[in-house]
Amino acid sequence: MNTLKASRCSKLLFKYKKSKDVLLRNSIYERSKNDIIKYLKVSSRKPLTDLELLSMSWDVFLICIEKHSPDEDYNLLLINAAHTVCNRERAQEKKKKKHERNVGAGKYPEKDNSESVIIRDSLIAMKDFRNSLPKNYKSVFDDCLASFGEDTRSHQSRIAIAKIPAHRYYEAKKLMKWFTQYLFGRRADTK
């Protein structure tokens, strides 16, 4: 932006801050929009669509209104605000990717009622349930899960590992089996 245009916009911003006239604000934005978009294209590390540029240019302009002082160079203010908005966008993108990586969101299709999403949610609930159990009952839960397998070795009892009375062990295993079947939508045995 040339210095004459920058000084004119700076004076108009000062006038706007006193009057809060929306039409004045919009006209200042229209004068600055093309230069703001140029600064955003330079500041951004990735190509942006026209809608993204327009949205981000408004964010830059709002920062300029907030941070503006009459003795500050308007061009420098625009450049700093463009860098701020681009850095904020990058930070939000990194945070989103980190969250997806931690949750595992990118691995499963995110459709409503998708079978894989339901299974993932069930597995997460089972993991949380197991982590909330006391130490002795974790082996009971592990035995319960192993009993769903086809292999006869998986049906072996782990009473010695659990170190709880046999009647409590089998009753806890029965309840945990009902819970597991409920999570996966199976009909619980009443036996």
State pLDDT tens for residues 30-83: 988 998 888 888 888 888 888 888 888 898 888 888 888 877 788 788 888 888
pLDDT score recorded for residue 105: 52
Orientation of helix 50-67 relative to helix 74-103, angle to 10°: 120
Q: What are 102-161's pLDDT values in tens digits?
A: 665 555 545 555 677 777 788 888 888 888 888 888 888 888 888 776 665 655 666 777
Contact 62, 79 (CB under 8 A): no
pLDDT score recorded for residue 23: 92
Q: Model pTM greater than 0.75?
A: no
CB neighbourhood size of 186 (10 A):
12
| Domains of the chain by residue range | 3-103, 115-183
From CA 168, how far away is CA 137, in angstroms rounded? 10
pLDDT confidence tier of residue 13, bands split at 50, 70 and 90: confident
pLDDT score recorded for residue 179: 83
Task: Say which range, 87-96, 111-120, 129-138, 175-184, has the weakest mean pLDDT.
Answer: 111-120
Contact 176, 140 (CB under 8 A): yes
In the chain, the largest separation of any two C-alpha atoms, in whole Å, equals 88
From CA 163, how far away is CA 129, in angstroms rounded? 20
